[in-house]
Structure 1
Amino acid sequence: MSGSFVDRLCGIHAATIVPMRPDFAIDEEALAAHISRVTAVRGINGLLVNGHAGENFVLSLAEKRRVVEIARASSPMDCLIVSGVNHEASLEAAREAATLEEAGADGLLVFPPNSWALGHDDACVIAHHRWVRDATTVPLMLYCAPVDAGAMAYPRSVLEHLAGDLRVVAIKEGSWEVAAYEENVRLIRALRPDVRVLGSGDEHLLTSYIVGSAGSQVSLAAVVPELVVALWTAAEAGDWTQARAVHDKLYPLSVAVYRDAPGGRATARLKACLKLLGHLESDTLRPPQHAATAAEIGALSAALDVATGRA
């Protein structure tokens, strides 16, 4: 696929996981196999690595670099690779961003530090992104956090300021709430129509595609990539009957992974799904997270039956 970063960002991009060995070390062989399998699916245009699904908050900088290197080596040459940048300290975020660019990332997605959920000065948000921008040369993406993630979700004034930076070319819109998604889409269209907004709330992909989206970076595409591509393809064609049919297959899985209590268990459940499908040998996560429980596995197995047509 040729074209600019922005053009190549359209469509479906899988947010991948990072397999771990029982001793909590990264299983590089399993990671390469995971990336190869996902990117072999027609319609998967790229990857988001070192995202939340990839446990970016518990990986060292050296490990994040290896993830990018393995992704680059294990995917097709034209696969667009975006790496997340997630660090509490701006100086370290800048160093991380520069390292991941050097490792081969085509673009960088700047995540809000988790501490911002408790509150922050808006000037800190702007400064944090500037540190990352000034340490790098590749295109940058913003992350709109879920509306229930405390102060991590940017207010309109901050989003306007961040989107005004011409280095920012796209937004992973993960508000996880339809009204907030549409408000942000309309804001960006009016302010920067050249910026791509990716509807990336796995539970309401269909709705975001109806409102308008350039594509998605989602972790469901690392589990059932064919289905997520099918949903996007139907939406792009304006075949909403087919899109709804695909959505109905995906919906129980999105609920079992992302919505069912307790919260914060998505990565564990994604790994459990891959293990249930025979794509992953070990579903180990780094502490304090633990592997999926029997109850979670039961719900995920039933949802996968619907998604894969085994029900």
Structure 2
Amino acid sequence: MTQTFGDRLRGIHAATIVPMMPDFGIDEAQLAVHLASVASTPGINGLLVNGHAGENFVLSLAEKRRVVELARAHVPNGCLIVSGVNHESSLEAAREAAALEQAGADGLLVFPPNSWALGHADGCVIEHHRRIRDATTSPLMLYAAPVGAGAMAYAPPLLEQLIADRRFVAIKEGSWEVATYEQNLRLVHKLRPEFVVLGSGDEHLLTSYLVGSAGSQVSLACVVPELVVSLWTAAEAGDWERARAAHEKLYPLAVAIYRDAPGGRATVRLKACLKLLGRLACDAARPPQPPATANELRALEQALRIAGAL
């Protein structure tokens, strides 16, 4: 029986980074190796490219398209490729979505524009998603932003309107707060039981899996894919002792990458981890992000040792 897009979303999907050269141009050779290596890890069912970890807010459309093309060319057959769509303009977001679909993405994840954090009318959100829907034919995913991201996080009445559109079949639930995650999960499944909910708060994957989840799209899986897979497989089997053991190894790394102040440093820290592990020659991230500090590097190295990666 042919699997649906929703079926293929189940399990662990790695949100990948984009290696840069010292002049901040994309290192295509390193990118191809990164994509192929992560996607070839047993238990990794797909990739999320052009996500936040992939610096989608500072890449041009041509660069985002090239990321999808390289993923399509270098990942194993059967690996699901979802591309993020992120633009402040709804018209440009629609053009971007169509181009990424044409480049080979199996599905598209619609990120809320950053300006929405300051406030927006619900009609703006609906219109933005409608423009992308009408420009494409691929399965579409919603993104639930962290509760700390201001008005970017969709309130239940707005989420209900969004999931009423049948072109949207899944949500990357990144509320980053357990109570909101469960609230959204219950709302979605009450209205559309088949709708795929991916628990994607890297710090509380274990909790998400206990409450209920079809899997995750997470950037932790581009650094320690085997460990994230082991957490998922243990949880799916109901082996909570083994899942807790994997969580204990993952948690310090999640904190060092995502929680430790200052905020907004995840991509820099992910790249620093990959360089510490010898998988990346240059850990440059595009400005305005400065390189990892000595304190960040110490915390990341210690966390990688706890995770068993170093």
Q: Which residue is 1:74 aligned to?
A: 74
Residues 155-187 of structure 1, C-alpha deviations (whole Å, 9 max, x = no match): 111100000100011000000000000000000
Q: Which residue is 1:290 aligned to?
A: 290
Asked if residue 15 in structure 1 is aligned to residue 15 in structure 2, the reply is yes
Shift of 1:132: 0.2
Q: Which residue is 2:243 aligned to?
A: 243
3-state SS in 2 of match to 1:81: strand
Shift of 1:309: 6.2
3-state SS in 1 of match to 2:307: helix
Amino acid of the structure 1 residue aligned with 2:57: F
Q: How does 1:161-240 map to 2 (within 5 A)?
A: 161-240=161-240
Shift of 1:290: 1.6
Task: Name the CA distance, whole Å, in 1 between partners of 2:249 and 2:137.
Answer: 40
Tell me if structure 1 keeps the 8 A contact 2:199–2:208.
yes
3-state SS in 1 of match to 2:84: strand
Q: Which residue is 1:151 aligned to?
A: 151
Q: Which residue is 2:45 aligned to?
A: 45
Q: Which residue is 1:272 aligned to?
A: 272
Residues 77-111 of structure 1, C-alpha deviations (whole Å, 9 max, x = no match): 10000000000000000000000000000000000
Tell me if structure 2 keeps the 8 A contact 1:2–1:78.
no
Shift of 1:2: 5.4
Shift of 1:232: 0.2
Amino acid of the structure 2 residue aligned with 1:280: L
Residues 11-49 of structure 1, C-alpha deviations (whole Å, 9 max, x = no match): 000000000000110000000000111011100000000
Shift of 1:3: 1.2
**Percent of aligned pairs with the same amino acid:** 75
Q: Structure 2: any 5+ residue segments left out of the alignment?
A: none
- TM-score, normalised relative to structure 1: 0.99
Tell me if structure 2 keeps the 8 A contact 1:176–1:201.
yes
Amino acid of the structure 1 residue aligned with 2:181: Y
Residues 279-302 of structure 1, C-alpha deviations (whole Å, 9 max, x = no match): 000000110012211110000000
3-state SS in 1 of match to 2:41: coil
Residues 215-237 of structure 1, C-alpha deviations (whole Å, 9 max, x = no match): 00000000000000000000000
Tell me if structure 2 keeps the 8 A contact 1:275–1:282.
yes
Tell me if structure 2 keeps the 8 A contact 1:98–1:136.
yes
What is the aligned residue count? 310
Task: Name the CA distance, whole Å, in 1 between partners of 2:240 and 2:15.
Answer: 25
Task: Name the CA distance, whole Å, in 1 between partners of 2:143 and 2:67.
Answer: 20
Tell me if structure 2 keeps the 8 A contact 1:2–1:8.
no
Which structure 1 residue ranges, 4+ long, deviate > 4 Å from structure 2? none
Task: Name the CA distance, whole Å, in 2 between partners of 1:191 and 1:37.
Answer: 38
Q: How does 1:53-72 map to 2 (within 5 A)?
A: 53-72=53-72
Task: Name the CA distance, whole Å, in 2 between partners of 1:237 and 1:41.
Answer: 20
Asked if residue 121 in structure 1 is aligned to residue 103 in structure 2, the reply is no
Tell me if structure 1 keeps the 8 A contact 2:16–2:219.
yes
* CA gap 1:309/1:87 in 2 versus in 1, 3 angstroms: closer
Task: Name the CA distance, whole Å, in 1 between partners of 2:27 and 2:192.
Answer: 41
Tell me if structure 1 keeps the 8 A contact 2:224–2:309.
no
Task: Name the CA distance, whole Å, in 1 between partners of 2:73 and 2:290.
Answer: 29
Task: Name the CA distance, whole Å, in 1 between partners of 2:258 and 2:140.
Answer: 26
Q: Which residue is 2:84 aligned to?
A: 84
3-state SS in 1 of match to 2:233: helix
Q: Which residue is 2:307 aligned to?
A: 307
Task: Name the CA distance, whole Å, in 1 between partners of 2:118 and 2:254.
Answer: 27
Tell me if structure 1 keeps the 8 A contact 2:277–2:309.
no
Task: Name the CA distance, whole Å, in 2 between partners of 1:40 and 1:77.
Answer: 10
Amino acid of the structure 2 residue aligned with 1:259: R
Q: Structure 1: any 5+ residue segments left out of the alignment?
A: none
3-state SS in 2 of match to 1:308: coil
